[in-house]
Amino acid sequence: MRSRNFKLRLLIGVAIALFFVVKRCSQQEVNPYTGRTQTISMSADKEIAIGLQSAPQMAQQYGGLHPNNQFQALVDNVGNKLVNNSIAKKTPYQYEFHLLNDQNTINAFALPGGQIFITYALFSKLENEDQLAGVLGHEIGHVLGRHSAERIAETEYWQGLATAGSVGADIGDMVGSIGQNTLLTNGRGDELESDDLGVKFMIDAGYNPEEMIGVMEILKAAAGPNRVPEFQSTHPDPDNRIEKIQEAIKKYKNQ
């Protein structure tokens, strides 16, 4: 009886796993702007809608928008210059740039569909317009690279496999752990891809890409000596990012 129940559970688990594998295969598509094959479960219009819906709440979490119109205008001008002089202009995304009022959290991030944010804490540490272009170019890279949409689809996939493992053979935790490590690794890849795209956007818009290295130094100093080890983080170590940025600068300057 116990053997029969185990076989039944195993069959159900295999069926669930097969469903999510087939589903993932059906969601594979080539990003026309990066040439990379990705798992995507939503349209560009859906990404835009999610970003627009989430933007007010995200701004609120960081103390709202910064009241200085001159600073906001600078962020807008640099962001729009990057978009208008790169392949980002050819995408369906609605790029909008927001300076957040948070004066303590050094951060910049992008929501799906083109909503891009930078905190005043980071903005105030930047030494010139080129470094601001480096930050915003990196975030535009996340949007164009469809990284949020890809992470959502991949998370659904690994959650499905973990469910199948729990039902079929009590290995859900192990599958979940594998999935988490995979998502962390992929997340680091997203950051490097965005750095690479950011360098290209800077060059295309006439900014000095070397200044992105200065941004990495600022982030490295902000993290301090107790920063999270790379293997536990979605972000590569700043020193590794600097090395890849230098490679990207050579690549795009020689094109």
pLDDT of 9 > 90? The answer is no
51 vs 171, more confident: 51
Lowest mean pLDDT among 82-96, 157-171, 182-196: 157-171
Provide mean pLDDT across the span 1-20: 59
Per-residue pLDDT, 150: 83
Residues 190 and 142 sit within 8 Å (Cβ to Cβ)? yes
113-145 pLDDT, tens digit each: 999 999 999 999 999 999 999 999 999 999 999
58-73 pLDDT, tens digit each: 999 999 999 999 999 9
237-255 pLDDT, tens digit each: 778 899 999 999 999 987 7
Question: Structural domain of residue 202, as residue ranges?
Answer: 2-253
Provide mean pLDDT across the span 19-42: 73
Measured CA to CA in angstroms, residue 53 lies from 50, 83, 109, 131, 199 at distances of 5, 22, 16, 29, 29
Per-residue pLDDT, 148: 81
What is the C-alpha R_g of the chain?
21
Per-residue pLDDT, 172: 45
Per-residue pLDDT, 6: 57
Per-residue pLDDT band at 187 (split at 50, 70, 90): low
Dihedral of alpha carbons 92, 93, 94, 95, sign: negative
Per-residue pLDDT band at 103 (split at 50, 70, 90): very high
Per-residue pLDDT band at 220 (split at 50, 70, 90): confident
44-97 pLDDT, tens digit each: 998 899 899 999 999 999 999 999 999 999 999 999 999 999 999 999 999 999
Per-residue pLDDT, 178: 40
Per-residue pLDDT, 203: 96
Per-residue pLDDT, 38: 82
Per-residue pLDDT, 254: 76
pLDDT of 230 > 80? The answer is no
The single-letter code of the amino acid at 186 is: N
The span from the CA of 83 to the CA of 6, in Å, is 56
Mean pLDDT, rounded, of the chain: 81
Burial environment of residue 193 by CB neighbours within 10 A (0 to 12, 13 to 18, 19 or more): buried
Per-residue pLDDT, 183: 38
Give the total number of structural domains in the chain. 1
Per-residue pLDDT, 163: 59
